[in-house]
Amino acid sequence: MSVLSGKHILLGITAGIAAYKTASLVRLFIKAGAQVKVVMTPAAKDFITPLTLSTLSKNPVVSSFTHEEDDNAVWNNHVELGLWADLFIIAPATANTLSKMAHGTSDNILLATYLSAKCPVYFAPAMDLDMYKHPSTLDSFKTLKSFGNIMIPAASGELASGLVGEGRMAEPEDIVSFIESDILKKLPLRGNKILITAGPTYEAIDPVRFIGNHSSGKMGFEIAKVAADFGAEVFLISGPTHQKVHHSLITVIPVTSASEMYQAVHEYFEEVDIAILSAAVADFKPKDIASQKIKKTDAALTLELEKTQDILASLGKIKKHQYLVGFALETNNELENAKDKLERKNLDLIVLNSLNDPGAGFKSDTNKITLIDKAKLIQSFELKSKSEVARDILNKIIGDLHA
């Protein structure tokens, strides 16, 4: 799976002959799993039609500040377009547009969108040899790089004028490869392996019944997704859940019981750099499991329970280089209980949930957490989506690892 999968890519097209290549570029972005929108300078329409790009991207193409709808002028909101984008790629980027970008000129919607964008901006220059080497163009390159914009180097070859030299826009395949490589090398967890546990465990009573809990696995799965998006190789050990994930960097290891999770965790723990145990593992299991379904013959059923193996504590005893994270779901004396668990189980970080907080805990799409680290530094966060919570947890871990 490409690192561009799921990304919102805004492609800006300016008036250069290389614009004809952008049809292939749109298709490559779509093939990589990205969503694509196109914004053009008005003159770019002389080189490739909006209809072609709209058909390929499956989104309307924007080339002016307004468009006609039922005989009324409707504003194309460049701010919303810029905020929608995860990546803004300007290709081809002509000398004229690059100069305007460098000097803050905003005389068309592409430039207005550029000035509004908060995402990384890539530009692929395309112009004739003498224009490419002109001091004003070189100054534009330097200025745009100082803004944090990323230049996709032009290739050498035959140019539209008939000259041969530097200034040819990079080929669509090379543009996609350049962007993927640039993103990958900047990912904060690239090169790290992370073990994550998620979901409940089911402890069998008989072949039909079990002891379990209400964990949906959503929190662990969101942590896995964000960790993979940050470049980590993830081993996701999950109890029974309806959650699904499809990512080339995530390996899902399904388990059912606490003992199966214990074995799987210990199988992978030695090779990982970070372990985040978010699963709601059953603390007790039936001492004896009936081989046949227990018949409902008596008014009551008595089960003798015994403790399951404490997975988190077992890892705390053997950890070497690993950064170990546990979760604490509490209903009273939350901070004191979480701090005690952090110390007893030799953790580097504990994530505290309280069932007293509305919107937090099992099955919801939101969570409210407090992070406590080894130095007993406490960070509390407001109620957020579990995806945002996952980012908060991983950003804390990244900060600690690079401290």
Q: Please identify every residue annotated as catalytic.
A: 213
Contacts of 248 (CB under 8 A, 6+ apart): 1
Return the number of other C-beta atoms located less than 10 Å from residue 323's C-beta: 19
Return the number of other C-beta atoms located less than 10 Å from residue 80's C-beta: 10
Alpha-carbon distances, residue 30 vs 6, 177, 178 (angstroms): 10, 14, 16
In sign, the C-alpha dihedral spanning 350, 356, 360, 364 is positive
Structure-token pair, residue 125: 């220059």
DSSP state of 44: G
Angle of helix 311-318 relative to helix 258-269, nearest 10 degrees? Answer: 20
CA 281 to chain centre: 27
- Interatomic CA distance for residues 155 and 142, integer angstroms: 18
- Interatomic CA distance for residues 133 and 114, integer angstroms: 24
Alpha-carbon distances, residue 95 vs 11, 132, 217, 369 (angstroms): 17, 8, 52, 50
DSSP 205-240: SSSS-EE-----SHHHHHHHHHHHHTT-EEEEEE-S
Residue 192's H or E segment, with its range, is none
**Buried b / exposed e along 328-337 (16+ C-beta atoms within 10 A):** bbbeeebbeb
- Three-state SS for 140? helix
- Three-state SS for 25? helix
